[in-house]
Amino acid sequence: MNGIQTDVIAALPEIFVLSMAMFILLVDLFIKPANRIAIFMLAQLTLLGAAFITMTTHVASVTYSFSGMFVDDPMSDVLKLMIYLTTAIVLVYTRTYISLRGMFRGEFYALVLFAVAGMMIMVSGQHFLTLYMGLELLSLCLYALVAMDRDNARAAEAAMKYFVLGALASGMLLYGMSMLYGATGSLNISEVGSSLLNGVQNRPVLILGLVFIVAGLAFKLGAVPFQMWVPDVYEGSPTAVTLFIGSVTKLAAFALVIRLLAQGLFVLAIDWQGMLIIMAVLSIVIGNITAIAQTSLKRMFAYSTISHVGFLLYGIMSASVNGFASAMFYIVSYVLMTLAGFGMILLLSRKGFEADQLDDLKGLNQRNPWYAFLMLITMFSMAGVPPTLGFYAKFAVLQAALQAGMIWLVVFAVLMAVIGAFYYLRIVKIMYFDEPKDKSVIKTTTEMHWVLSLNALALLALGLMPQSLMNLCAYAITLSLS
Amino acid sequence: MIFQDYVFYALAAILLIAGLRVITARNPVHAALYLVLAFFTAAGIWLLLEAEFLAIALVLVYVGAVMVLFLFVVMMLDINLDKLREGFWSYLPLAGTVGALMAAEMVMILGTKYFGLAVFAPPAPHAADYSNTAELGLHLYTDYLLPFELAAVVLLVAIVAAIALTMRDRKDSKFIDPAAQVRVKRADRVRIVSMPAEVEVSEKDEKAAS
């Protein structure tokens, strides 16, 4: 066991974020509503400070602390930095939206920061108990955020659905963990991994636990056949919260999958590969085909998320370091694309008006050619058109799957990606060739304009030079999983 | 069989019956009361396992606090039972098949083959002066410090979320600020309006006017 000092240093970013979340709760009590912008600034400052701490305490090796329950490795550092960055972007995008809808309150920012802390714990958990606590911390914040707009009946319904199904998924995950404990005698992921390396005993018990764990993870990721909650929650939540759920939390879900399947249960890879193949194929089919029939932009993005999760699973089920690294590349690209896509919905929304229907994008090119161009890049990237980031993400995961010898599955995925391109390109057609319904001038804040522009242009820039991001992912995964 | 075995089988039987009744009882209040019984017998089984602190905690926290609150809520709600049972028979075939399948699979694996006494030898009983509570405290504040602190954060989030969702800016809240009540002046409550005296108008004049 390490001394308390190393423990504190390893968990310093988490401690900082949690303390600042509580500080924001206190400041909010004494601040006048007119000065509430200070809370927004404090939240951004928190993320910046946490990024600074994570950068300065970064070492290119794996450090265990808190009796082996907490790990500080390159993968956790990289994912944490991505979480800070994307949360900061989310906060910029959502500020106008939530202040027009009466949600611009200290609790919103405190809950977002608590959720960030939960994700950081999930990213750094090395023990079933720590991972589970991080997951619950994140989920509780999300349930509350979905219901934040309390006069909205649809948001309340979405929150209820999310809560019930989320609790069910947590229960499954927990049950699976208890089975693994029964079979291996440990809750520590490193110990579970090494005890399985010494020879697999009680195989049926392990497989039963694995089934429950994979089902729980699929629920959290939103993979078919556990995807029912995704469209309803995406559509019912306030768009600001949908943006948060749809983007940042997927980074933590990815970390959870890597910790459990790649680190803890790697010996059972042959078993979870089969389960992931079924889920990946079904996710891509159902996600892409159902998305075509949607008229709501938020529901369309929900189904597109399901198909993206399918592609993510292609990377993970390759069960190689290369596959995990490309899956990490995919999830980071997916998060950047989703941010830009939902950012556009938030930008076009006004007081009392949600731009969440496909028709609301009609003739965007005539209203504002620059925003139409940004949305064009985002849609091309989601569809996987070169030279955008989305193309390289799909390319990387499919290449990893190919190396694992899954030729027919890769051919199938490429075919489905072509079908999926239809509904992304339909948006481009709506924006450029349809007559606008409402011709009002689009008003937005300066910082939103710049951040959204940078976000969409980053999809193009990283697509032209994907090597730096790919190297970062490979560096993180190689050093953490060896 | 020794005495403890008889106690175990009795408690286990009560626990099973109580658990079944929780989901089959027609009256939700009865179901909640059966749940209390289930918790109570589970605490008894934990006592047999020498986990006396957990057993007492279960009784105090779940039976004493959580379930009482739960009963209050159940009694206050006007639950329409017929609506709850709507569609029961149409869902039964599919749900029953899936449930039976899962139960069969779990019975196959969770039997004595993998979890029996041959695999897990019973732990040696502790001496009479062994303190379960002290051991638990020792582990909680050393090895399990991180999850313990996280549990505290989760509870804090639950408080913040509950207050954020129910207390602030609620339109139908009947909360009155006492300070504002005390500071109120006569002028805020009564408005004196000067207007000319009402004159009785006969019906004829009214018709003539219109």
Cα–Cα distances in Å, from A198 out to A176, A181, A210, A267? 21, 16, 18, 10
**Rg of chain A, C-alpha, whole Å:** 21
Report the C-alpha gap between A70 and A48 in whole angstroms.
22
Report the C-alpha gap between A401 and A319 in whole angstroms.
9
Q: Where are the alpha helices (DSSP H) in chain B?
A: 3-24, 28-48, 52-57, 67-76, 81-84, 88-110, 112-115, 132-141, 145-166, 178-183, 186-189, 203-209
Report the C-alpha gap between A390 and A329 in whole angstroms.
10
Report the C-alpha gap between A133 and A47 in whole angstroms.
21
Report the C-alpha gap between A120 and A255 in whole angstroms.
10
Report the C-alpha gap between B198 and B195 in whole angstroms.
9
Report the C-alpha gap between A402 and B71 in whole angstroms.
58
Least confident of A24-38, A187-201, B147-161, B196-210: B196-210
User: What pTM, to 2 d.p., does this model score?
Assistant: 0.90
Quote the pLDDT of residue A183: 87
Quote the pLDDT of residue A1: 45
Q: Which one of B101, B115, B150, B172 would you mutate to disrupt binding with A, by most A Cβ within 10 Å of its Cβ? A: B150
Report the C-alpha gap between A60 and A58 in whole angstroms.
7
Reduce the DSSP state of residue A355 to 3 states and report it.
coil
Cα–Cα distances in Å, from A337 out to A123, A247, A251, A301, B164? 21, 9, 13, 11, 31
A184: which 2 tokens?
Answer: 């291996």
* Single-letter amino acid, residue A283: S
Quote the pLDDT of residue B207: 66
Per the CB < 8 A criterion, the answer to whether B8 and B45 are in contact is yes
Q: Residue A73, Cα to own-chain centre: how many angstroms?
A: 20
CB contacts < 8 Å between A and B, how many?
A: 85
* Single-letter amino acid, residue B88: F
In 3D space, the residue among A325, A466, A461 whose CA is nearest the CA of residue A392 turns out to be: A466
Q: Where are the alpha helices (DSSP H) in A72-223?
A: 74-100, 106-124, 128-146, 153-184, 189-197, 203-221
Q: Residue A476, Cα to own-chain centre: how many angstroms?
A: 18
Reduce the DSSP state of residue A127 to 3 states and report it.
strand
Residue B44 has pLDDT above 50, yes or no: yes
Report the C-alpha gap between B122 and B110 in whole angstroms.
17
A173: distance to nearest CA of chain B, Å?
16
A66/B146 touch (CB, cutoff 8 Å), yes or no: yes
Give mean pLDDT, residues B129-146: 89
Distant-in-sequence, close-in-space partners of A381: CB < 8 Å, separation ≥ 6 = A333, A337, A340, A388, A389, A390, A391, A459, A460, A463
A337: which 2 tokens?
Answer: 């694309």
Q: How many CB atoms lie within 10 A of CB A6?
A: 15
Q: Residue A459, Cα to own-chain centre: how many angstroms?
A: 17
Indicate the angle between helix axes A153-184 and A229-236, nearest 10 degrees.
Answer: 140
- Helices vs. strands in chain A: H and E counts, helices first: 21, 2
Half-sphere exposure for B14 (CA within 13 Å, toward CB): 17
What's phi and psi for A266, nearest 5 deg?
-65, -30
Q: Residue B63, Cα to own-chain centre: how many angstroms?
A: 10
A107/B163 touch (CB, cutoff 8 Å), yes or no: yes
A91: which 2 tokens?
Answer: 């906060």
Taking CA–CA distances from A107, the nearest residue in chain B reads B164
pLDDT digits (tens, 9 = 90+) for A71-128: 999 999 999 999 999 999 999 999 999 988 888 888 899 999 999 999 999 999 999 9
A272: which 2 tokens?
Answer: 């979870």
A182: which 2 tokens?
Answer: 């029964």
Residue B173 has pLDDT above 70, yes or no: no
β-partners of residue A125 are A70
Chain A residues within an 8 Å CB radius of B144: 67, 69, 129
CA-based angle B171:A229:A401, to the nearest 5? 145
Report the C-alpha gap between A294 and B151 in whole angstroms.
41
Per the CB < 8 A criterion, the answer to whether A336 and A458 are in contact is yes
In 3D space, the residue among A383, A408, A367, A388 whose CA is nearest the CA of residue A455 turns out to be: A388
Quote the pLDDT of residue A172: 93
Average pLDDT, whole number, for chain B? Answer: 85
Least confident of A11-25, A339-353, B34-48, B102-116: B102-116
- Give the ipTM of the model, two decimals please: 0.91
Q: Which one of B98, B114, B148 would you mutate to disrupt binding with A, by most A Cβ within 10 Å of its Cβ? A: B114
A352: which 2 tokens?
Answer: 């009392």
Report the C-alpha gap between A342 and A469 in whole angstroms.
23
Could you tell me whether strands A70-72 and A63-65 are parallel, antiparallel, or unpaired per DSSP bridges? antiparallel
Confidence of residue B192 (pLDDT cuts 50, 70, 90): confident
Q: Residue B154 is nearest to which of A102, A105, A137, comparing CB atoms?
A: A137
Q: How many CB atoms lie within 10 A of CB A95?
A: 19
Give mean pLDDT in consecutive 10-residue pieces for chain A, a chain of 482 residues. 71 94 92 88 95 92 89 93 96 92 88 96 94 95 91 90 94 93 90 86 87 93 90 93 94 95 90 93 94 92 94 93 94 95 91 85 89 94 91 94 92 93 92 85 88 94 92 91 76
A22/B156 touch (CB, cutoff 8 Å), yes or no: yes
B145: distance to nearest CA of chain A, Å?
7
Report the C-alpha gap between A233 and A175 in whole angstroms.
25
| CA dihedral sign of residues A341, A342, A347, A350 | positive
* Single-letter amino acid, residue A265: L
Report the C-alpha gap between A301 and A295 in whole angstroms.
11
Give mean pLDDT, residues B126-151: 89
Q: Which residues of B touch A (CB under 8 A)?
A: 105-106, 108-109, 114-115, 119, 142-147, 150-151, 153-154, 156-158, 160-161, 163-165, 168-171
A460: which 2 tokens?
Answer: 């193009």
pLDDT digits (tens, 9 = 90+) for B60-83: 998 888 888 888 888 887 777 777
